[in-house]
Structure 1
């Protein structure tokens, strides 16, 4: 288990992992279709996408939290 102070990093890791995996699969299939080597193409795309997604989530998350807090109305 991880220390609670690492919650943001662990959240960012898994968010980036799942989103980059799903999006790279969808985009790979969209671009080349269901070809014989789609799994290899997808895994290469996923590796690259994750390398971009993880630092992006780390950098953008504070901005997204601020925007979300501005848009959410406090309960009456």
Structure 2
């Protein structure tokens, strides 16, 4: 019987490989499974982005009008009757 095999950590003799996206993108700092190869280290990028977001919210520079929606005053008046 010719059946393709798919493995996760089963070695090079499988027909296909399953990888967990968090493992190959480097979402964790402490642990990388033996069967995974990190192609990026997103922990640093994510940490920097979250810190920047936090600082901008705390400083009041985010959100701005550009990231906000508005409502016509007549519609608001109708909704708040």
More strand by share: 2
More helix by share: 1
Q: Could you say whether these structures have the same fold, taking a TM-score greater than 0.5 normalized by the shorter chain as the test?
A: no
The normalised TM-score by structure 1 is 0.30
The normalised TM-score by structure 2 is 0.29
